[in-house]
């Protein structure tokens, strides 16, 4: 008997497999070019009032300040926090 897709049993613990690979860029304002992109895995989509968490690999985690606004723009998301605006682009597997 297998486990549900997206999970792995590990000695009685269930661990979620992160499958939404993203490119995250910081921008100064809407319409401006992004500054440096990082590639990682999104644990959950950005939600207003919550910190947005991106796993960068090798134990590194990027956490934003609480999200104030999320807007969809073509095939990307614009995520505004108190300190920054981020562009999230979902990458194909």
List the CATH number of the domain containing 84.
2.30.29.30
Bigger pLDDT: 2 vs 90: 90
> pLDDT of 37-71, one tens digit each?
999 999 899 999 999 999 999 989 999 999 999 99
pTM of the model: 0.73
pLDDT of res. 19:
67
Residues 6+ apart with CB under 8 A from 93: 19, 21
In a domain, 13, yes or no: no
In a domain, 6, yes or no: no
In a domain, 67, yes or no: yes
pLDDT of res. 62:
93
Angle value at C-alpha 48, between 46 and 49, nearest 5 degrees: 115
In a domain, 11, yes or no: no
């Amino acid at each position: 008997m297998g486990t549900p897709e997206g999970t792995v049993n590990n000695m009685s613990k269930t661990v979620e497999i992160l499958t939404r690979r993203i490119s995250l860029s910081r921008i100064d304002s809407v319409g401006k070019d992004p500054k440096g992109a990082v590639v990682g895995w999104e644990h959950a989509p950005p939600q207003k009032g919550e910190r947005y968490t991106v796993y960068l690999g090798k134990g590194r985690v990027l956490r934003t300040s609480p999200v104030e606004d999320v807007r969809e723009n073509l095939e990307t998301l614009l995520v505004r926090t108190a300190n920054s605006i981020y562009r999230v682009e979902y990458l194909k597997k």
